[in-house]
């Protein structure tokens, strides 16, 4: 199925969880924030969050800024 | 506490706010914080670039500092609100610097959208510090909307051109009962000192420190300049006497 | 408004100074405090108070030079002329210092709209375009509907109509504004709440707060100008001047679209012989005007014909921006001399004489400074 990650369409396995998506990208879960369809998903809930077709995932982090 | 800057229930002794963009290495940040004495540090929220690993900037901000996420990247009030809520949900605390920019050429803020975002976020209990183009009626509206301070720009972001908006900022300092924090454009410690002498409550500096030859030493220089300017303001600037003693007194007729 | 100081009324604002030790403050003021206040671009309330101190009397000439320069800078060399018109002297209040108070026996008068028209013609013939209408407080004899009727008549003759009447509700201000009123003058008389209570023993005017917040209501209703003041002679003038300045400053901050001004009226002898409790000399009056001008560089200062001609001539260059002329404090007084006035006037010069005096000082008398389109 396809979902949108950070604005880009990507193909992922059916029933993939948020946890798997983050892990597959080699991201350190400590430093990022994940939003699913414009709602924040807490770190604890990532393994239980199953993705559906056309879901929008935003993976964000704090960076330097003024 | 003597001469504390009170914002959002906090008493700040340092009147230098530090931005964390453009540093050549994040490990400099804690050192700059220490050298400058800054207690409020800004960060931004961005989409992760999955192609290369970045570090989490928040890990470099010493504990005890107030982490103030900005809403850079927002082009509308709605986007700014969304970023602010996310940052808070991610554990950033209540402080937020609203920055709404639709102009990619000069990077000047959109005051109208900024007011809207301020109103929404203040109602949600955020400590809102809006970045704005200095304008008196906008500042009044921001105050009414519940801003905790107003942050007019000295000149466009990153331009290091100094206090080009001096007169307008002076009017805000005179007229607005909130702390006025000069944000953007300050390129040298002397300009930070000047803003403080004028009565600004604080200044926010990023580029001038981050891109200096020695950012840590420059952080210290800004810290000292801000203190000096504040001390001068508190001492009561003597002012220039701009009238000559008139030859014909206006009050000579008074006899009783 | 969500939070911030947006909804605090001046009544609440003033409470910040409850129990403030004015005497102690004045004792501690130094020359350096006054010099610093004089050098500031924008004065804080304590700077204003320093300039009102007895010590600042030694700096009167410096204050005058600066006040003069600021006035010319913000207003130019012009004096706006207006004249008062008394519509009715019926009054249910008992202000101890007023000749119109309810218990004074006098034959009460009230102009009919036809008489208003007649008097308006007499005034308009002098060239004046600004009129200030006054009444005592009587919702029976001079209700809002009566005032509106008079305003409708006056509109034909004047470009600006101000009211100096009892305090109204917001909706009533709206009604009069839509009928053509553009200015409100309302003096608190005395800002000290206890003294206020003692001087107003009976009648609706006992409601201190309702009167104090009247200018705010008028501003919210969309008035164009407001004029506040304390009647000098009722209480310590320095603290009264201070609160008048704070009141004007409050209104200017909160309603930037409104033109705010102040009057420093001194008590005049009147029927019934109430003697001023505090002497306010010319030097005091001048100090007050100058300190106020430095504190509020853009606010108007109105000087009435209560003051002597010779003094008024000097005040032209000391910060005044508006003066009354050709005044008469009796109802229908311009038609025939049939009633006693509220107080005695001191400057009886005609409008033409006032205009000549103003010209002779290098200023321009202005009869009309705006006109709605
Ligand atoms: S001052 Fe006004 S309210 Fe008081 S008695 Fe006189 S006319 Fe009436």
**Angle formed by the axes of helices C113-124 and C144-154, to 10°?**
40
Burial class of residue C140, CB neighbours in 10 A (0-12, 13-18, 19+): exposed
DSSP-assigned beta bridge partners for residue C173:
none
Cα distance between residue C248 and residue C13, in whole Å: 12
Domain containing A48 equals: 2-61
Class of residue B152 by CB neighbours under 10 A (exposed 0-12, middle 13-18, buried 19+): buried
DSSP H or E run through C359: helix C351-360
Q: What is the pLDDT of residue A40?
A: 85
Is residue C144 a contact partner of residue C175, using CB atoms and an 8 Å limit?
A: yes
Do the Cβ atoms of B44 and B17 come closer than 8 Å? no
At A9-54, the pLDDT tens digits run 888 888 889 888 888 887 777 778 888 988 888 888 888 989 999 9
- Phi/psi at C204 (5° precision): -60, -20
Thinking of the domain B5-235, which architecture would CATH place it in? Alpha-Beta Barrel (3.20)
d(CA C254, CA C12): 14
User: What confidence score (pLDDT) does residue C2 get?
Assistant: 35
Average pLDDT over residues B54-80: 87
Q: Which residues of B are catalytic?
A: 97
Taking residues C217-246, report their average pLDDT: 96
CA atoms of C348 and C370, how far apart (whole Å)? 26
Residue C266 CB–ligand 1 contact under 6 Å: no
Q: Which comes out higher in pLDDT, residue C214 or B158?
A: C214
CA distance B186 to C42: 25
Entry pTM: 0.71
ipTM score of complex:
0.80
Give me the pLDDT at residue C1, please.
35
**Torsion C42-C45-C48-C53 (CA) sign:** negative
Q: What is the pLDDT of residues C14-47, one digit of tens each?
A: 988 988 999 999 999 999 999 989 988 889 999 9
Q: Residue B180: CA atoms inside 13 Å, Cβ hemisphere, count?
A: 30
The pLDDT confidence band at residue B239, using thresholds 50, 70 and 90, is low
Please give, rounded to a whole number of angstroms, the shortest distance from the CA of B7 to a CA of chain A. Answer: 19
Residue whose CB lies within 8 A of the most ligand 1 atoms, among C96, C100, C190, C306, for a mutation test: C100
CATH code of residue A35: 3.10.20.30
Would you call C50 exposed, middle or buried from its count of C-beta atoms within 10 A (0-12, 13-18, 19+)?
buried
What Å distances lie between residue A28 and B59, C189, C286, CA to CA? 13, 72, 74
**Contact assignment for B85 to A40 by CB distance below 8 Å:** yes
Instruction: Among A27, A32, A65, select the one facing B19 at the smallest CB separation.
Output: A65
Among residues 5-44 of chain A, which lie with CB inside 8 Å of chain B? 5-7, 25-28, 30-33, 35, 38, 40
Nearest CA, atom 5, ligand 1: C101
Q: Give dist(CA C297, CA C319) in Å, integer.
A: 9
Neighbours of A52 (CB within 10 A): 12
Task: Give domain status of residue A43, yes or no.
Answer: yes
Write the CB contacts of B31 (distance below 8 Å, at least 6 apart in sequence): B216, B219
Q: Rounded distance, CA C152 to CA C144, Å? A: 12
Q: Which residues of C touch B146 (CB under 8 A)?
A: 2-4
Cα–Cα nearest to B210, from B51, B14, B57, B12? B57
> pLDDT value at position C271?
53
Domain contains A66: no
The dihedral formed by the CA atoms of C44, B119, B150 and B203, expressed in degrees to the nearest 10: 140
**B199/chain C closest Cα distance in angstroms:** 11
Put simply, the answer to whether B239 touches C69 (Cβ < 8 Å) is no
Nearest residue to C84 via CA among C261, C345, C372: C345
**Is C2 close to B122, i.e. CB distance below 8 A?**
yes
Confidence band (pLDDT; 50, 70, 90) for B200? Answer: very high
pLDDT of residue B118: 96
| Nearest in space to C88 (alpha carbons), one of C123, C124, C113 | C113
Residue C113 has pLDDT above 60, yes or no: yes
Hey, which of B19-23, B118-122, B158-162, C362-366 has the most confident mean pLDDT?
Answer: B118-122
* Separation in Å, CA C38 to CA B51, B174, C71, C246, C283: 63, 16, 15, 18, 18
Strand pairing class (A39-41; A32-36): antiparallel
Distance, in Å, from the CA atom of C309 to the CA atom of C348, rounded to the nearest integer, reads 8
- State the total domains in chain A: 1
Closest Cα in chain B, distance from residue A35 (Å): 8
pLDDT band at C140 (very low <50, low <70, confident <90, very high): very high
* Per-residue CA distances from A66 to B59, C25, C92 (Å): 16, 45, 65
CA distance B98 to B78: 11
Longest dimension (CA), chain C: 60
pLDDT-derived band of residue B254, with 50, 70 and 90 as boundaries? confident
**Whole-number percent of chain C with pLDDT over 70:** 93
Tens digits of residue pLDDT in C280-295: 999 999 999 999 999 9
Cα R_g (chain C), whole angstroms: 20
Residue-wise pLDDT for C303-349, tens only, equals 988 888 889 899 999 999 999 988 887 888 777 654 566 666 677 78
Q: Are B162 and B184 in contact (CB under 8 A)?
A: no
Rounded to the nearest 5 degrees, what angle is found at the Cα of B141, between the Cα atoms of C244 and B92?
Answer: 125
pLDDT, average across residues B74-96: 90
Cα C103 to chain centroid, rounded: 25
**Type and span of the H or E element at C148:** helix C144-154
Interface of B with A (CB under 8 A): 19-23, 26, 29, 42-48, 50, 53-59, 69-70, 72, 82, 85-87, 89-90, 92, 157-158, 183-184, 204, 206-207, 210
Q: How far apart are alpha carbons B226 and B203 in whole angstroms?
A: 8
Number of Cβ atoms within 10 Å of the Cβ of B226: 27
Residue C112: is its pLDDT beyond 90? yes
Q: Is C200 in the pocket of ligand 1 (CB under 6 A)?
A: no
Q: Let me know: does B81 contact B120? Beta carbons within 8 Å.
A: yes
Q: Is B250 helix (H, G, I), strand (E, B) or coil?
A: coil
- Beta-strand relationship, C259-263 and C225-229: parallel
Residue of C124, C115, C127 whose CA lies nearest to C86: C115
Q: Is chain C adjacent to chain A, meaning 3+ CB pairs within 8 angstroms?
A: no
How far apart, in whole angstroms, are the C-alpha atoms of residue B120 and residue B146?
9
Dig out the tokens for B137 from the structure. 């009626």
Contact B183, B170 (CB under 8 A): no
Residue nearest to atom 7 of ligand 1 (CA): C136
Is pLDDT above 80 for B242?
no
Alpha-carbon distance of C127 to C140, in angstroms, equals 33
Touch between chain A and chain B: 3 or more Cβ pairs under 8 Å? yes
For the cut 90, the answer to whether the pLDDT of residue B250 exceeds it is: no
For all residues of chain C together, what is the average pLDDT?
A: 89
List the end-to-end C-alpha distance of chain B, in Å, as a whole number: 48
Query: What letter does residue A47 receive in the DSSP assignment?
Result: G
Q: How far is CA B37 from CA B29, B97, C50, in A?
A: 12, 20, 37
Is residue A14 a part of any domain in this protein?
yes
Spatial distance between the Cα atoms of B178 and B160, rounded to a whole number of angstroms:
25
In this model, does residue C3 exceed pLDDT 50? no
The domains of chain B are located at: 5-235
When pLDDT is averaged across residues C222-238 and rounded to a whole number, the result is 95
For C109, C180, C181, C265, the CA distances from C218, given in Å and listed in that order, are 27, 13, 11, 21
> Nearest 5°: CA angle at B42, between B17 and B162?
50
Residue B238 has what pLDDT? Answer: 62
Q: Which of B44, B50, B89 has its CB closest to that of A64?
A: B44
Q: Is 60 exceeded by the pLDDT of residue B44?
A: yes
């Amino acid at each position: 199925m396809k979902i949108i990650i950070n604005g880009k369409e990507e193909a992922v396995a059916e029933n993939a969880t948020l946890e798997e998506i983050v892990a597959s990208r080699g991201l350190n879960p400590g430093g990022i924030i994940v939003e699913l369809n414009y709602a924040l998903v807490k770190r604890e809930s990532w393994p239980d969050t199953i993705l559906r077709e056309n879901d929008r995932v935003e993976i964000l982090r704090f960076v330097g800024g003024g | 506490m003597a001469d504390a800057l009170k914002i959002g229930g906090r008493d700040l002794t340092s009147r230098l706010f530090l931005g964390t963009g453009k540093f050549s290495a994040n490990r400099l940040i804690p050192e700059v914080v220490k050298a400058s004495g800054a207690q409020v540090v800004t960060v931004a929220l961005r989409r992760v670039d999955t192609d290369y690993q970045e570090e989490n900037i928040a890990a470099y901000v010493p504990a005890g500092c107030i982490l103030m996420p900005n809403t850079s990247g927002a082009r509308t009030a709605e986007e700014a609100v969304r970023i602010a809520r996310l940052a808070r949900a991610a554990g950033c605390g209540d402080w937020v610097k609203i920055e709404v920019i639709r102009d990619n050429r000069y990077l000047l803020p959109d005051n109208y959208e900024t007011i809207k975002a301020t109103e929404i976020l203040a109602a949600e209990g955020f400590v809102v510090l809006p970045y704005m183009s200095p304008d008196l009626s906008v500042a009044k509206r921001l105050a009414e909307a519940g801003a905790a301070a107003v942050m007019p720009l000295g000149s466009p972001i990153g331009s290091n051109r100094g206090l080009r908006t001096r007169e307008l900022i002076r009017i805000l300092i005179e007229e607005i009962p909130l702390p006025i924090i000069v944000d953007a454009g300050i390129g040298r410690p002397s300009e930070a000192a000047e803003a403080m002498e004028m009565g600004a409550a604080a200044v926010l500096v990023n580029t001038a420190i981050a891109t200096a030859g020695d950012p840590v030493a420059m952080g210290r220089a800004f810290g000292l300049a801000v203190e000096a300017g504040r001390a001068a303001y508190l001492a009561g600037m003597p002012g220039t006497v701009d009238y000559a003693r008139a030859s014909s007194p206006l009050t000579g007729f008074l006899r009783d | 408004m969500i939070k911030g100081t947006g909804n605090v009324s001046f009544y609440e604002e003033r409470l910040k100074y409850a129990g403030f030790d004015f005497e102690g403050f004045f004792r501690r003021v130094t020359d350096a405090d006054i010099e610093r206040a004089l050098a500031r671009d924008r004065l804080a309330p304590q700077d204003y108070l320093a300039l009102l101190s007895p010590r600042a009397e030694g700096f009167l000439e410096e204050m005058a030079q600066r006040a003069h320069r600021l006035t010319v800078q913000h207003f130019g060399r012009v004096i706006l002329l207006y004249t008062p018109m008394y519509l009715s002297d019926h009054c249910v209040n008992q202000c101890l210092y007023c000749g119109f108070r309810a218990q004074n026996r006098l034959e009460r008068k009230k102009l009919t709209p036809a008489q208003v028209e007649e008097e308006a013609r007499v005034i308009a013939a002098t060239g004046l375009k600004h009129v200030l209408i006054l009444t005592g407080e009587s919702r029976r004899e001079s209700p809002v509907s009566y005032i509106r009727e008079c305003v409708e008549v006056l509109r034909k003759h004047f470009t600006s109509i101000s009211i100096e009447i009892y305090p109204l509700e917001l909706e009533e201000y709206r009604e009069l504004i839509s009928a053509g009123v553009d200015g409100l003058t309302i003096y608190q008389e005395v800002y000290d709440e206890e003294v206020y209570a003692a001087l107003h023993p009976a009648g609706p005017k006992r409601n201190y707060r309702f009167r104090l917040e009247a200018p705010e209501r008028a501003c919210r209703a969309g008035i164009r100008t407001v004029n506040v003041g304390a009647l000098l002679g009722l209480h310590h003038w320095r603290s009264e001047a201070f609160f008048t300045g704070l009141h004007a400053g409050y209104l200017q901050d909160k309603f930037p679209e409104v033109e705010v001004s102040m009057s420093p009226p001194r008590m005049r002898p009147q029927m019934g012989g109430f003697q001023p409790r505090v002497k306010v000399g010319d030097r005091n009056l001048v100090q007050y005007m100058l300190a106020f001008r430095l504190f509020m560089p853009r606010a108007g200062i109105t000087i009435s014909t209560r003051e002597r001609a010779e003094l008024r001539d000097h005040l032209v260059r000391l910060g005044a921006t508006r003066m009354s002329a050709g005044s008469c404090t009796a109802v229908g007084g311009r038609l025939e001399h049939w009633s006693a006035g509220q107080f005695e006037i001191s400057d009886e010069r005609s409008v033409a004489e006032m205009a000549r005096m103003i010209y002779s000082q290098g200023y321009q008398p202005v009869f009309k400074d705006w006109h709605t389109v």
